[in-house]
Amino acid sequence: MPEGFFPSIPLSSLPQLTTEQMREVDRAMVEDLGIDLIQMMENAGRHLAQLARARFLDGDASGKRLVVLSGTGGNGGGALVCARHLHNAGALVHVVTARPAEAFAGVPARQLGILARMGLPLIHAQPPDGPADLILDGLIGYSLQGPPRGTAAELIRWANRQPAPRLALDVPSGLDATAGTAFDPTVQATATLTLALPKQGFSAPAAAPYVGKLYLADIGVPHQLYAKALGLEVGPLFAEGPILHLQL
């Protein structure tokens, strides 16, 4: 599906947030407005599934073989929501978690439990054999601290070796969202669906090979919140639709 399927605007026309600013947006959403994490996570995962279908699956997920890589944080929770939506759309979804199920807590644990009760294949650490049509990266979000380690690093390296396209949620795992530093390893995404507003690190020249095509999704942040929480003037970005293509 061509980028023209989604409204397109220059990345440079938007504010680009640091990790600390994103933390403040998340805090203000929950504490000031009462918009729960589960609502934002559902929006993120639903839009990731929409982009996956439109951009990589020719509009039809039925019978397509997908591997969803999930960490234990909010980024992983969004990927698990996406797994549910794509399974409901007929895809053959395999979920691979970076940590055992008992390590999940809070809303991500709730999302994982839903998939378990639905009967989806949930695998710790070991990707399935055979080719995939698409790999979805939800291992590590903007809260990355230093190079990925352990199973997360092994899954990133596995994903980068596969011929299938890779779609990252919010930030490619291993990429510093503020500085744009690509640690060893970092997911080499074919495309990235970032959330709320783009991250400052995406403008770093060194980040481009890892971000791939860049898209922006609406997770329900009222544009007035940016002025109150961050002093940024942001208009109604998503007037033409919930997903935008950002020109790098």
Q: What is the pLDDT of residue 145?
A: 86
Q: Is the pLDDT of residue 16 over 90?
A: yes
In sequence order, what E strands does 71-185 have? 92-97, 122-124, 134-138, 166-169
Domains in the chain, CATH or no CATH each: 3-247 (3.40.50.10260)
- What is d(CA 192, CA 209) in angstroms, rounded to the nearest whole number? 11
Q: What is the mean pLDDT of residues 21-33?
A: 96
pLDDT in tens, 181-209: 999 999 999 999 999 999 999 999 999 99
Helix boundaries (H) for 103-183: 106-118, 150-161
pTM, 2 dp: 0.96
pLDDT in tens, 90-107: 999 999 999 999 999 999
Q: Is the pLDDT of residue 3 over 70?
A: no
Q: What is the pLDDT of residue 143?
A: 84
